[in-house]
Amino acid sequence: MFVPLGTQKGTSKDRPAGLLAHHIPRLPSPSGCGPEAGNGRGARAIPRRAGHTEASNENEGKEPGAARWQATLLRTSARGAGARPGRGRLSGHHHEEVSLGLGRGDGHPEVPLGQRRRMRSLSPAAGTSPMPSARGSVLLLTHSRDHYTVDRVAQALSRLGARPVRIDTDGFPSVLTLTSRMGPAGSDVSLRTATGKRRSQDIRAVWLRRLAPPRLDEALEPVWREGCFRESHAALEGFLDGLEAAGCRFINPLAAEQTASNKLHQLRQAQALGLEIPRTLVTNDAGQVRAFFEEVRGRMVAKMLTPLSQSMEGGHPFVYTSAVGPQQLEQLEGLRHSPMVFQERIDKVRELRVAVVGPHCFVGAIDASRSVTGQVDWRRARPGECHWEPGDVSPAVAARLVRLVAQLGLVYGAVDLIVTPEGRHVFLEVNPGGEWGMLERELGLPISEALAEALVTGDRVPPSSFRSSHDRPHRDPFP
């Protein structure tokens, strides 16, 4: 479900203010469960129809068939389908500028999220502000194995008149070229891809979807590899810092992501805003863990301090949320070298994933009781064991989640909640780069369009708001 804040009452359909929610058709795809949920592996890009051109579209201007949403102050539920899928094809090759034929980005007006009419040949109209063609590019930073979510955001950006540019960061430094220049006349950063060179003044915004370890030349001698990783890391940090200093809008701002990814900081902020949290212990002291186990009467889980996606992409070991029993308490010798998070295990009837984009919440739910592994961590469930269905949160909870994400300095955050048998919502964590593709694919929630609108129409974030000279980007792409 989609939870709008500020729903306009008194209209015939009580449409959500500032956001016209609508149904997006699903694409054939694998299950939305497991650690790869939402990354689009195996999902199809939408093919370009034979004979289609930007100036020729026999369906142009037609309204979607049966798509409709009924919005109330509490929720907006999708009823039916029929929204016309976007057309065009997103290349999977390295470093190609996305060209979908859905908008030229040359002075076209910014289109409100969810508007479906005449997306092909937009022209400035009264009351609209055309996007400046000089700064119409939006960088989508990801890796070569990431498809579904990047495709959807690229298509939504093109419909808004922006020029999406996909950058597979695992092509740096062997294929992708980054340059930072500083001197008396000022500073500038640029990147060169297979489609040409782009400078900071050409770039409007950056979606920091994923950063991946580089693909170094196989001929590189092992003795030099560590140094190449380190120097490439520093160069990439400097490039991203230069884009932010030039006024490019980031989703999410670099330093804000670093701070927001600290689980203890999240929990303190959430509790201060009135959200319920589990009893929590973070320690490398085995004695403290055993005492906490007794305190929660043996109902305890263990998890990592760092986001799962960051650990997997960086090539580091990772641990799913796991139940802890008496046997595991006797195997804590390694804890001295690696602190972990231990929390009270709370009974639940559902788990919620809430994708927060600015003031908007998009909610999906899983009945984790259908899977033994899903009772502790739904990401461990095998394909077919769990299915996403529309979820619900109260306006009060939605308002707290929106405020939490904003207070952490983020534009986007994936929040995980537990719903107890008594109906309480318990906050677990917010992942600044958490997956949402399964919610759009399986429930039709227009998250990609919300992100695209935030990238195109949002105010650029001044770097001084969240960043100091010693801050480093959160997503460390190198081991």
Q: How many of the other CB atoms lie within 10 Å of CB of 407? A: 14
Per-residue pLDDT reduced to its tens digit, 355-364: 999 999 999 9
471: left (phi over 0), alpha (psi -120 to 50) or beta: beta
User: What does the alpha-carbon distance between residue 477 and residue 66 come to, in Å, rounded to a whole number?
Assistant: 44
Q: For position 307, what pLDDT does the model report?
A: 60
pTM: 0.67
Residue 293 lies in a domain: yes
Taking the alpha carbons at both ends of the chain, their separation in whole angstroms is 38
Residue 272 lies in a domain: no
Which helix (H) or strand (E) element contains residue 150?
helix 148-159
Per-residue pLDDT reduced to its tens digit, 1-18: 555 444 333 333 333 333
Per-residue pLDDT reduced to its tens digit, 381-425: 555 667 899 999 999 999 999 999 999 999 999 999 999 999 999
Taking alpha carbons only, the member of 392, 403, 424 closest to residue 358 is 403
Q: For position 134, what pLDDT does the model report?
A: 56
Q: For position 391, what pLDDT does the model report?
A: 95
Per-position DSSP letters for 11-65, written without gaps between them:
SSS-PBTT-------------S-STTTTS-TTPPPPPPPTT-BTTB-TTTTPPPS
Three-state secondary structure along 339-357?
Answer: CEEEEECCCCCEEEEEEEE
Task: Return all residues near 183 (Cβ < 8 A) that are at least 6 apart.
Answer: none
Residue 312 lies in a domain: yes
**Helix axes of 148-159 and 447-457: crossing angle, nearest 10 degrees:** 50
Q: For position 25, what pLDDT does the model report?
A: 31
Q: For position 384, what pLDDT does the model report?
A: 65
73 pLDDT more than 70: no
Q: For position 61, what pLDDT does the model report?
A: 35
Q: For position 381, what pLDDT does the model report?
A: 57
* Average pLDDT, integer, range 165-174: 90
Domain that holds residue 316: 282-339
342 pLDDT more than 90: yes
The position carrying tokens 């996606």 is 309
Residue 222 lies in a domain: no
Residue 21 lies in a domain: no
For residues 34 and 354, the model is more confident at: 354
Q: For position 12, what pLDDT does the model report?
A: 36
Q: For position 136, what pLDDT does the model report?
A: 85
Per-position DSSP letters for 295-361, written without gaps between them:
HTTT-EEEE-SS-HHHHHHTT------EEE-HHHHT--GGGGGS-EEEEE----SEEEEEEEETTEE
Q: For position 385, what pLDDT does the model report?
A: 67
* Backbone dihedral angles phi then psi of residue 164, each to the nearest 5 degrees: -70, 135
Q: For position 118, what pLDDT does the model report?
A: 28
Q: Rank 12-21, 39-48, 115-124, 423-432 by mean pLDDT and report only the highest.
A: 423-432
Q: For position 460, what pLDDT does the model report?
A: 41
Residue 192 lies in a domain: no
For residues 225 and 412, the model is more confident at: 412
* Average pLDDT, integer, range 256-277: 95
Report the percentage of the chain scoring pLDDT > 70: 61
Edge-first strand listing for the sheet containing 300-303: 280-283, 340-344, 300-303, 322-324
Least confident of 65-74, 80-89, 235-244, 258-267: 65-74
Residue 44 lies in a domain: no
Mean pLDDT of the chain: 70
For residues 170 and 116, the model is more confident at: 170
Residue 84 lies in a domain: no
For the chain, what is the domain count?
1
60: left (phi over 0), alpha (psi -120 to 50) or beta: beta
DSSP letter assigned to residue 474: S
Per-residue pLDDT reduced to its tens digit, 203-213: 999 999 988 87
Q: For position 383, what pLDDT does the model report?
A: 59
